[in-house]
Structure 1
């Protein structure tokens, strides 16, 4: 693993668990086992490092979903939708720092003034919505999904699924305990 990649991994974890303000560049350097100068060689400011982390998270999400869908075949759009939701939940569990980071306040505050940050957040969430929408459109074409607005329904699905992940990340409720009810609800909603 390259030093830059290692720095991004450590920074992702720290920004996700401690927050932007509470994470210092010195702490990132110490946990990455590099000199502070190495971090500043790759990232001029802490904000630059944060944006690189967010970009890395976006790339990781796209890669994970691309890999997942590259290996799967689905009987119909409804099955693709169920698998998409299940994989979202799986990814939120196996890549928890990514989702913890996305559930923090700072990225959205920064996005108010930083267009690149706003673009990254839009690309991340559009990725999820596009995946759900594609399954809904496919389901409408094959008859496994009823007549509804695919984009709006995909947004509602993402809000619901992401809300469950937030419960899990805040240690309020076990997302796994809601899995069967969630899938049943989605099935009824899209019929």
Structure 2
């Protein structure tokens, strides 16, 4: 069965994300992406114009869904302990599933001067995450459910923990390991 234009485009984005994340932008060619995506070189150029635009789309297009998943938690729950427990578990599972995408985000943010447009997208998303984590922490502190501490520092520490774990480890984590990491991450929020 012949692939649709949308399926081919999706394949190109997936292959490009993998190669950009693993090999880097400079070491990846459009021809290599086309070959591994099983499409013609012209097809890649037609969909994305050039490699720079392809990198931008690899960062931009998955971001909305990724960010929506990360931000799907209540900042004023009835039960802070349960909300934070469920949130951290979901985050550890999501970050595990999206490891290649995270590698790509780190690649563009670590060289932000070269990749300004993708960097701005990643940076905006990081600020949105941090802001919502801060809201959760501040609300919990006001209600006496979370220990007093700098909410911004805690939010950034949590994001750093998530990124660091999955970017410094090449192994796939078992579900039980993810649960253990998530359980320990809840301590960052200062549950009383």
TM-score by length of 2: 0.78
- The CA deviation string for residues 40-87 of structure 1, in whole angstroms up to 9 with x for no partner, is 122222121111101123223123335x549xx954334333332222
In 1, Cα distance between the equivalents of 2:122 and 2:77? 29
In 2, Cα distance between the equivalents of 1:145 and 1:10? 43
Does residue 1:57 correspond to 2:68, yes or no? no
Does residue 1:33 correspond to 2:35, yes or no? no
In 2, Cα distance between the equivalents of 1:160 and 1:118? 20
Which residue number corresponds to residue 151 of structure 2?
Answer: 150
- Corresponding pairs, count: 185
What aligned pairs does 1:29-178 form with structure 2 within 5 A after superposition?
29-65=34-70, 68-69=72-73, 74-104=77-107, 106-109=108-111, 111-168=112-169, 170-171=170-171, 177=177
Structure 1 position 37, deviation (Å): 1.1
Contact 2:34 2:40 in 1 (8 A): yes
Gaps of 5+ in 1: none
Residue 69 to residue 59, structure 1, CA distance change in 2 (3 Å): same
RMSD: 3.0
Residue 103 to residue 176, structure 1, CA distance change in 2 (3 Å): farther
In 2, Cα distance between the equivalents of 1:114 and 1:15? 12
- The CA deviation string for residues 81-103 of structure 1, in whole angstroms up to 9 with x for no partner, is 33322222101222222122234
In 2, Cα distance between the equivalents of 1:47 and 1:148? 42
